Amino acid sequence: AATGVRRSSVTSLASDLPERIESIASWILEKQSKQSPCAEMTWRFLEDPESGLMAHWFNKLMPPFIFLSVFITLLQTVEWTPLLGSTAAALETGIDALFTVEVIVRFVVYPDRWHFPLDPYNLIDIFAAMPLAFRCAAGFEVSVASGKDDWLAPFLLCFVPVLRLLKILRRYRQFHLLLKAFRLAGEALPVMLFCYF
């Protein structure tokens, strides 16, 4: 009799499982779709330069800041650099920290967090923020002449500026239009190939 009760309870749990999963999924989607007014305003500030005066200036001042961060990094690679040791480490760590905070804020206010890593601009931002972890692991001060961490210095001084320059692509609407054109052409490509063959 006890095994019959267990089997019936297991069977009832198994039959209720799809309904429970569906209710949990709908609860998650409901939570994701409801954004607070502050999160929505922050999202518009970050994504739409025409949403206000501060958003306009943020969009205008971010590319020069990114170029300045690239210049600071590349300035450390020349022979007679004015940026040495703790000064360079403090500047680079501050820049990386700002980029990391930007990624975190973008993730928190993103309308659909499940799709956050699918946006190529978000991936670029994530990769541009990752050097902070490498700097922490290296003790923040990195120089080409030190001889230690043979792979880390070239990575932080040569590859990181490229990642930072890629962050600028988010600001150019023409690039957004070009990506959209490629997506639409990619959707039509299977039909054209089917007709061709």
From the CB of residue 58, how many other CB atoms can be counted at a distance below 10 Å? 15
* pLDDT bucket at 98, cuts 50 / 70 / 90: very high
Angle, helix 85-109 to helix 131-138, in steps of 10 degrees: 140
pLDDT, position 26: 67
The Cα 56–Cα 65 span in angstroms is: 15
The Cα 49–Cα 46 span in angstroms is: 7
Query: Mind listing the pLDDT tens digit for each residue in 24-54?
Result: 766 665 655 567 788 888 878 888 888 889 8
Q: Which two tokens stand for residue 165?
A: 């320059």
HSE of 159, CA atoms in CB hemisphere, 13 A: 13
The Cα 109–Cα 39 span in angstroms is: 5
Mean pLDDT of the chain, nearest integer: 77
The Cα 115–Cα 48 span in angstroms is: 19
From the CB of residue 62, how many other CB atoms can be counted at a distance below 10 Å? 17
pLDDT, position 36: 79
pTM of the entire structure? 0.67
The Cα 170–Cα 180 span in angstroms is: 13
Region 50-72: mean pLDDT is 88
- Whether residue 69 is predicted with pLDDT greater than 80 in this model: the reply is yes
- Whether residue 5 is predicted with pLDDT greater than 60 in this model: the reply is no
Query: Mind listing the pLDDT tens digit for each residue in 136-168?
Result: 777 766 655 555 546 766 777 778 888 888 888
Query: Mind listing the pLDDT tens digit for each residue in 105-133?
Result: 989 888 877 888 888 888 888 988 888 88
DSSP 159: I
